[in-house]
Structure 1
Amino acid sequence: MKKIASTFFTALFAGAITLGAYKLFFEKPNYAIVTESEGRPVFNTSYTPTSPKGAGINEADFTTAAEMTVNAVVHVKNVSITRDRGSYLDFFYGHGSSARPQVGTGSGVIISQDGYIVTNNHVIENASQLQVMLNNNKVYDAEIIGTDPNSDIALIKIDADRKLPYLAFGDSDHVKVGEWVLAVGNPFSLTSTVTAGIVSAKARNLGKADQSFIQTDAAVNPGNSGGALVNTNGDLIGINTAITSQTGSYVGYSFAVPSNIAKKVVDDILEYGNVQKGILGVDIVRANTPYAIQKGINQIEGVYIAGIEEDTGAEEADLREGDIIKEIDDIKIRKYADLTGYLSSKRPEDTVQVTIERDKEIFTVPVVLKRRQVITVPNMGLEIKNLTKEDMKKFKTKKGVKVVGVPEIYRGYGLEGKVILSLDDQEINDIEEAKVLFGRISRRGRTIMTMINQKGERERLIFQ
């Protein structure tokens, strides 16, 4: 009996030693001793329970947004005709150049039940034949309703035999960096492809002063152009437009035209036939320029006003040189692209509330946007402006545009200060009409310009 008892206590003692050693050397304690010490940092810890699903992408559900989107995104095929120059024998013996069809593809987004589709201008540019294939593989011929090369947005239409699924425009001004988004399109002619990512940045520009893109890391490749960028609710917040890549394929991020800009362009095309642009009327100093560095305004948060244009809303609202634009309509303005991006969604005669900083004081003033009064026309590069009341009185005309700047190549023609009345016998009423007519000038043909000088004398110039 003593032997059994001795063996039992020996085993019990050994077990206790083993358990104690395990607790001491191997098991991590689930408690912490906290003492107050002025010399040690204190870190706040969140005790929010962890979701059983995990964190991040597992929390997001993209299925509803994908189902809402794929049937409203279409495949766009552009057939254009290109001409080969041929050999010098063809030139001398009159065979001429040979024509061959070239096919380009992209995507588009149905925005109404009756078949209006928004896409990129570069997707449908120079099209001699345009076709749209729906997600159910039905193919329709499409017509171009209007385009805006500046924003790279185009509106086309198909006549379907039924009501079509479509996407509603969302509010891109309130898209947040870090928000989940889906890119839907037809990369490499693969229909209805959905990729996911987040909004990486807003108000990006790719070299042009008036660009303002949403940047995302959702995979976008050739063929995605013109497709939809949607949030997790299935709202259309952008039109996928560009990638930055040395290979021509996706390398990590892409860019989309914000939906507010795309919607405004579409509305203008439908209502006016062209894009109506409202300007604030301020000259802006861009960041990282010698002037900005010299003036010590390179690191400011906002947009510095370097000058005020005459006969504009900014002049009427008493904005001044040196003011810093901080907000417009409660939208924060941190850099130039924020300003141009928001104004691109507005029209002439719209009123915006501009918050500025002046002499360390912050206040808000209403500013009425006006039509741009001065532009540079394509092909010839003349700088022209709409006629003021004084100009109309001086030149005794209510139509035409005044030449205020002439490039070096045309300096000897005496154009500056005169009013252009027509181009190739087509009357000009304002700078927008002039822009269209100058854009149609053929370098191989001749152009007839009718002008009037301050003496009331008409002149006709022929440019070969």
Structure 2
Amino acid sequence: MAQARGVPESFADLAERISPSVVNITTSTTVAGRTGPQGIVPEGSPFEDFFREFQDRQGPRGDRPRRSSALGSGFVISEDGFIVTNNHVIEGADEILIEFFSGEELPATLVGTDPNTDIALLKVEADAPLDFVNFGDSDTARVGDWVMAMGNPLGQGFSVSAGIVSARNRALSGTYDDYIQTDAAINRGNSGGPLFNMDGDVIGVNTAILSPNGGSIGIGFSMASNVVTRVIDQLQEYGETRRGWLGVRIQDVTDDVAEALGLEEAKGALVSDVPEGPAMEAGMEAGDVIVRFDGKDVEDTRQLVRIVGNTAVGKAVRVVVNRNGETKTLMVTLGRREEAETAVPAAQPVEPEEPMQSELMGLTLSPLSDEIRGELGLPESAKGLAVMDVDETSEAFEKGLRAGDVITEAGQAKILSVSELEDKIEEAREAGRKSILLLVRRAGDPRFVALGLDADE
């Protein structure tokens, strides 16, 4: 019978061995001086003259730029002086000063940053080789494993805290998030510091806390090392990130969407739009479900985004999609995401339809006319059915459809009239479907919504 690893008698030996590689980071930023009482008291307040006189007595010094300082943490990853920290620790800084465990201080230069993962890479020039730590494999960290955080919490200087891995694969708000949650005490100032396993390897970069009062309540988040190492490698080589770009808008396959598409299980990533880019060139279409990418099964959209982002720019990959119940393999040559952030779908003009409102599935629908396009702020190229009203007791309302939405596809076919939508509903019923898949656009952003066919009965 396997024995569980007991509580360490002490973390002292581990802390002593790796602490010389952990650093405190102080940044300085020039902040414009105030030019008057604006922002201190409301304009026209009886105190306005008082504050102006007070500033006048301060002399011209009050108008001068002033210095603002911030504190954070980091760690050395090479003997020649590369240092990892959080982007938010050094963002906008004019000067970055590194304080080592020994008390020595060195200025640092910024090599590169990645706001998407909140990671920054710094470099110092030292006379002698520096103590450094290695990255570990964050994928091997298990819930319940012991971990140790180091850094400069609340500006109090070097500090160590210990706890366990509380959860894995947490997402906060970023596209590429993969956080390790820990109850090791992490406070402001710990940002950018390392989270160590018991082998002394870095498995996370302490980035965020969940707190109602600004202090540690035992819910801290560290960006997983396997995300960080890929970012750091690119920052070292290029000074910037170079993530793969597929060129699709996607959403998760829910149970009702899977049923509407005739899929056996709710897995993969549903393509809701294909703007001009690598996927379009390879023949991918809206309504395709991406089930495999470059030899890896796709579970959901979050996983696909991470896999694509971690794939080399320019690589030709096999993408397996489910299209109308059949499997197709497409060869896609990935672009670079950073160069494609402003990509928009190409639109085609369509002849305006005569407005004619109809009620269907709790929706009041009308073909798009120039007048309706104007009311909804849509381009002349917009086509489909406008949602004029939604019954608040309907499934459509529950699924988030609202007046102003535009339905452009039903049953994975483009629709221009209510009769075409009715035909698609009838086809779905005859095929034994319990729901129909609608492609809905709101302010240009597409998403698929599955509505039960009994909603029209």
Q: Normalising by structure 1, report the TM-score.
A: 0.59
Q: Is the 8 A contact 1:238 1:259 kept in 2?
A: yes
1:77 is matched with 26
Q: Contact conserved, 2:195 with 2:203, CA < 8 A, in 1?
A: yes
Give the deviation of 1:217 after TM superposition.
Answer: 2.5
Aligned partner (choices 158, 172, 175) of residue 206 of structure 1: 172
> What are the within-5 Å matches in structure 2 for residues 89-108 of structure 1?
95=60, 97-108=63-74
Q: Secondary structure at the match of 2:226?
A: helix
The aligned counterpart of 1:272 is 238
C-alpha distance in 2, partners of 1:295/1:64? 58
1:132 corresponds in structure 2 to 98
For 1:401-445, what per-residue CA distance to the aligned partner results, in whole angstroms no more than 9, with x for missing partners? xxxxxxx9xx9xxxxxxxxxxxxxxxxxxxxxxxxxxxxxxxxxx
**Where in structure 2 are the equivalents of 1:8-157 lying within 5 Å?**
48=1, 57-58=6-7, 65-87=14-36, 95=60, 97-157=63-123
> What is residue 204 of structure 2 aligned with on the other side?
238
What residue is the counterpart of 1:282 in the other structure? 248
- Quote how far apart the aligned CAs of 1:290 are: 11
After superposition, where does 1:242-261 map in structure 2 within 5 Å?
Answer: 242-261=208-227
CA distance in 1, matches of 2:305, 2:9: 33
Contact 1:187 1:223 in 2 (8 A): yes
Matched ranges for 1:318-337 at <5 A = 321-325=287-291, 334-337=299-302
Q: Matches of 1:124 and 1:356 in 2, distance apart? A: 42
1:283: how far off? 2.0
Matches within 5 A, 1:400-439: none
Q: Deviations over 1:151-172 (max 9, x none)?
A: 2111111111211111222333
What is the root-mean-square deviation in Å for CA atoms of aligned residues?
Answer: 4.1
Structure 1 residues 137-146 or 194-203, which shifts more?
Answer: 194-203
CA distance in 1, matches of 2:211, 2:259: 31
Amino acid at match of 1:277: R
> How far is the alpha carbon of 1:80 from its aligned partner?
1.7
CA distance 1:343–1:311, change in 2 (3 Å): closer
Q: Secondary structure at the match of 1:268?
A: helix
Further displaced range: 287-296 or 154-163: 287-296
- 3-state secondary structure, aligned to 1:375: coil
Structure 2 counterpart of 1:460: none
- TM-score by length of structure 2 reads 0.60
Tell whether the 8 Å contact from 1:197 to 1:217 is kept in structure 2 after alignment. Answer: yes
Q: Which of the two has higher C-alpha Rg?
A: 1
- In the alignment, what sits opposite 1:345? 310
Q: Distance in 1 between matches of 2:228 and 2:156?
A: 25
Paired with 1:59 and 1:156, the residues of 2 have a C-alpha distance of 33
Any idea what the Cα deviations from partners look like across 1:103-150, whole Å, max 9, x if unmatched? 211101101101111111111122222111111111111122222222
Instruction: Tell me the residue number matched to 2:186.
Output: 220
Corresponding pairs, count: 328
Identity of aligned residues (%): 36
Task: Tell me if structure 2 keeps the 8 A contact 1:212–1:337.
Answer: no
Partner of 1:369: 334
Amino acid at match of 1:323: V
User: In the superposition, relative to structure 1, how do residues 345 and 261 fare at CA in structure 2: closer, same or farther (>3 Å)?
Assistant: farther
The CA deviation at 1:242 is: 0.9
Q: CA deviation at 1:384?
A: 7.1
Question: 1:153, 1:262 within 8 Å by CA — same for their partners in 2?
Answer: yes
Note the residue ranges of structure 2 that are not aligned, 5 or more in a row. 38-51, 346-373, 378-457
C-alpha contact (below 8 Å) 2:79/2:132 kept by paired residues: yes
